[in-house]
Structure 1
Amino acid sequence: MRDKSPAGNRPIVLLSLGHACVDVYQGAVAALVPYFVAERAYTYAAASGVVLAASLLSSLVQPLFGALTDRWALPWLLPLSTLTAGAGVALGGVTGSYPLTLAAIAVAGVGVAAYHPEAARAARVAARGGHAAMGWFSLGGNVGFALAPPLVWTVVATGGLAASPLLAVPAVLGAALCWAAVRSAGAAGRTPDGRTAVAGGVDDWASFLRLTGAVVCRSVVFVALSTFVSLYVRQRSGGGGGAGTAALFLLYLGGAVGTVAGGRLAERHGRLRVVRASYAVTVLAVAGVVLVPGPAIHLFVVLVSAGLYVPFSLHITLGQDYLPRRVGTASGVTLGLAVSAGGLAAPSVGALADATSLRTALLPLIAFPAVAGLLLRGLREPVAPPPELSSPTEDPVTPRPGA
């Protein structure tokens, strides 16, 4: 066993709790969509444009933050980015125009983008290469996603969008937790001059790019369902707003179990085998969400959640092991850029729903997990990098493993 009591690892616990506070704001954007539609009469396309705003700028700057954390350790980014994400979402509900709403939500996206590469680097150091410990770190983010719908419902359903500044409270708590995590971790993973310590090993870009393609496919399914499942379940089940909020909550909550289970299953069966099996299950589960009517739709939402979240932390560690010399870049892509890439596809889903129906717009999602599984076929389990550290400026040209 490579992990030693992840729950007793103070930096991992603090990073996980801080991760929860940050990812509340990723989940909150989708949870606000029904209220934008109800209070501001946004079309499906306009509402999904809000999700695009959170994803587009985030996707553009995420590699930059990843490259920066590959060279320098930037622990101060964790509390600052948490406050930025909270401020953006809080302002998004009170802005008086659509462009200002998009701008505020985009600021929140930048905060999220700045947080994840440095947090994943710090968590990898604290986890000492353990899959289960990284699963606990990822669990925090999934819990944050799950708490977003009831939090938004509690605040906005009672006070309207004008009450959205109250949504900044988790950011203040998260900033304090992140600062405590930074102090607890000390100088781990840094050289005396503040640079990021770099492991030895060989960067396998070909395998990493295929993994990225699979994560993008996952992102399209996850973001599209996050944006529209609440509205869709209201239509299909006839249960009103409560049924829609419950579906979104289940979509996020299932990830809390799935992420921890993914780490444990990977230690027994191997990461790639677990990831491939998860995508096979997801194909059937997404088909159930789109095609099965009535209350049973909630069961399929849970299955989709499990299928999408079991691979979540495994994507991170696989990416880091495929690019052992560029852990920040790998984290920025697998945990940030590729995860937010689904937001770029959300307006297309919304436009198709406006032109046809929401059910028709969600049908193509069934194919994406199948494509993800195909991309992962033939990949080999990467070897964990050796413990020796080298200067971050050194980048020897070495052949791909097995070449």
Structure 2
Amino acid sequence: MQAAAPKQSALNTSTIYRIIFAISLGHLMNDSMQAVVPAIFPILEQSMNLSYTQVGWIAFALNMTSSIMQPVFGFYTDKKPSPFLLPLGMLSSMFGMIGIAFAPNFYFVLLSVLFIGLGSAVFHPEGARVAFMAAGTKRGLAQSIYQVGGNTGNALAPIFTALIFVPLGQSGAAWFTISAAIGVLLLWYVSRWYRTELTSGTMRVKKRAAAGNGEGKLSRQVKLAVVFLIFLTFARSWYNAGIGNFYQFYLIEHYGLSIRAAQYYVFIFMIAGVVGTFFGGPLSDRFGKRNLILFSMLGSAPLALLLPHIPLVWVAPLFAVLGFILFSNFSVIVVYTQELMPGKVGMASGLIVGLAFGMGALGAVVLGKLADMYGLTFTMMFCSFLPLLGIVSWLLPNDRKAQ
């Protein structure tokens, strides 16, 4: 029996890259369908004569559904993991895509995005759990790969606008049902592996080791640290809501760009965020999670303050640096929270990723209202101060104390 122990230990700590990359690809497909919603805003704004406030309400309906339901599904699946929720969530998003493609009015669009939000809420906690299960000892790297898939999907929104919705209009959303169908098959494959792991002796060992005292109460210090992490997620999400939903209109109004041209600038910011997300995990392993979070928030603040005041020629390079720095903390905050809440992987993911959507939803409504009342220039100026709220990163415990 003792001779078998090293083999068992090695098996428990092995990193299963095929599953990590598969769930990352599923994450890309899931978030690509979410990205369709802001991508189609300029088309809907013209065809349905929407106000900026109505645009904000569509973003609110999408993101708040995901925000409210993610911690709920995370809490449920921490107690009862449900592998086949993954393809079911993708199926819900497919129905939402069909609805958006043929929506006749504002209210039908709202109903359609609720299906997409629900699909996202189902996917994310279980997707994060799969990445955690397949990570072995490389949790930071696994979470970075997983989150890169989602952030890449979000980053494609401007490209969708320029290459699909400008030439095809609203009906272009129907093409994304093909991606959704492929995603259902991919996640069915991942779910079968997930189910096998749950029923194997190896997975039972993993579950006991990961759960630890997960059912116990969290200490006051841990709760306070989680509150700080949620607040940092709030600041980043509101800023991202301003750029992702309204900066395209600012470029059109302030610099005189076409709808298509404006998308490429927003894409630079988002794709730089994807790169930052990937490198954030390894950098945090080298310099510490708390230090990386602090650098990410305060390092991006001066660039955000400059953005509304620079000529167009400087927007692209500034966006590239700003997106990289700001999003380098994305996967790090998730892993940091998971380590603070052992045995509550789904809940931790639901709180941080779910609340990121929720805060972005609230931000979209508030920023849309500000744009209608005071103009886009005021709204962009307001957004530029949000990364300064990252000063609360000083209050986080260092990595050793957190562990």
- Quick check: TM above 0.5? yes
| 2:194 equivalent to 1:176 | no
Question: Do the aligned partners of residues 209 and 187 (structure 1) sit closer, same or farther apart at CA in structure 2, a change above 3 Å counting?
Answer: farther
Distance 1:129 1:308 in 2: 26
From 81, 104, 111, give the equivalent of 1:103.
Answer: 111
Aligned to 2:3: none
Deviation at 1:201, TM superposition (A): 4.8
Task: Determine which of 199, 214, 224 is the counterpart of 2:211.
Answer: 199
Q: Is the 8 A contact 2:288 2:399 kept in 1?
A: no
Structure 2 vs 1, CA of residues 327 and 73 (structure 1 numbering), >3 Å: closer, same or farther?
Answer: same
Residue 392 of structure 1 corresponds to which residue in structure 2?
A: none
Q: Which runs of 5+ in 1 are unaligned?
A: 384-399
Deviation at 1:133, TM superposition (A): 1.9
| Amino acid corresponding to residue 60 of structure 1 in structure 2 | I
Letter in 1 for 2:384: I
Q: What amino acid is aligned across from residue 181 of structure 2 in structure 1?
A: V
Mapped contact 2:298–2:391 kept (Cα < 8 A): no
Which residue type is aligned with residue 374 of structure 1?
Answer: I
Number of residue equivalences: 381
Q: Write the distance in 1 (CA, Å) between the matches of 2:234 and 2:199.
A: 31
* Correspondence for 2:317: 299
User: Which residue in 1 is equivalent to 2:160?
Assistant: 151
Looking at structure 1, the residues matched to 247 and 70 of structure 2 have their Cα atoms a distance apart, in angstroms, of 27
Partner of 1:315: 333
Could you tell me how far apart the structure 2 residues matched to 1:211 and 1:191 are?
35
Instruction: Determine the C-alpha separation between the residues in 2 that align with 1:209 and 1:188.
Output: 33
Residue 128 of structure 1 and its aligned partner are, at CA, apart by 2.2
Maintained 8 Å contact 1:135/1:263 = yes
Aligned residue for 1:138?
Answer: 147
> How far 1:56 moved relative to its partner?
1.9
Q: 2:133 is aligned with what amino acid?
A: V
Q: 2:66 corresponds to which letter in structure 1?
A: S
Q: How does 1:318-357 map to 2 (within 5 A)?
A: 318-357=336-375
Cα distance in structure 1, aligned partners of 2:148 and 2:187: 16
Deviations 1:326-377 (A, max 9, x none): 1111100112223332111211111111112101012122232221x22221
Q: Displacement, 1:401?
A: 7.1
Q: Note closer, same or farther for the CA distance 1:132–1:401 as it changes in structure 2 (3 Å cut).
A: closer
Name the CA shift for 1:223/1:86 in 2 (closer, same or farther; >3 Å).
Answer: farther
* RMSD of aligned Cα (Å): 2.4
Matched with 1:128 is 136
Matched residue SS, 1:187: helix
Task: Say if 1:29 and 1:89, in contact at 8 Å, map to a contact too.
Answer: no
1:256 deviates by: 2.1
Alignment partner, residue 396 of structure 1 = none
Deviations 1:314-333 (A, max 9, x none): 01101101111211111001
Q: Identity across aligned pairs (percent)?
A: 27
Decide which moves more: 315-324 or 303-312. Answer: 303-312
- Is 1:247 the counterpart of 2:259? The answer is no
Provide the rounded CA distance (Å) in 2 between the counterparts of 1:241 and 1:152: 8
| 1:306 Cα offset (Å) | 1.2
Q: CA deviation at 1:313?
A: 0.5
SS at match of 1:296: helix
Q: Letter of the aligned partner of 2:185 in structure 1?
A: A
Q: State the AA in 1 paired with 2:332.
A: L
CA contact (8 A) 1:272 1:381 kept: yes
Gaps of 5+ in 2: 1-12
Q: Which has the higher helix share?
A: 2
1:268-299 CA distance string (max 9 Å, x none): 10111011101112212222322223231122
1:180 is matched by which residue type in structure 2?
Answer: Y
- Read off the aligned partner of 2:211 and give its amino acid letter: A
Is the contact made by 1:143 and 1:256 (CA closer than 8 Å) also made in structure 2?
A: yes
Partner Cα separation in structure 1 for residue 289 and residue 146 of structure 2: 17
In structure 2, how many angstroms separate the alpha carbons of the residues matched to 1:129 and 1:288?
Answer: 40
Aligned-partner Cα distance in 1 for 2:343–2:126: 15
Counterpart of 1:395 in structure 2 is none
Give the one of 25, 39, 49 matched to 2:33: 25
Confirm whether residue 234 of structure 1 aligns to residue 276 of structure 2.
no
* Structure 2 residue 391 is matched with structure 1 residue 379: no
The answer as to whether partners of 2:93 and 2:116 remain within 8 angstroms in 1 is: yes
Q: 1:269 to 1:63 in 2, by over 3 A?
A: same
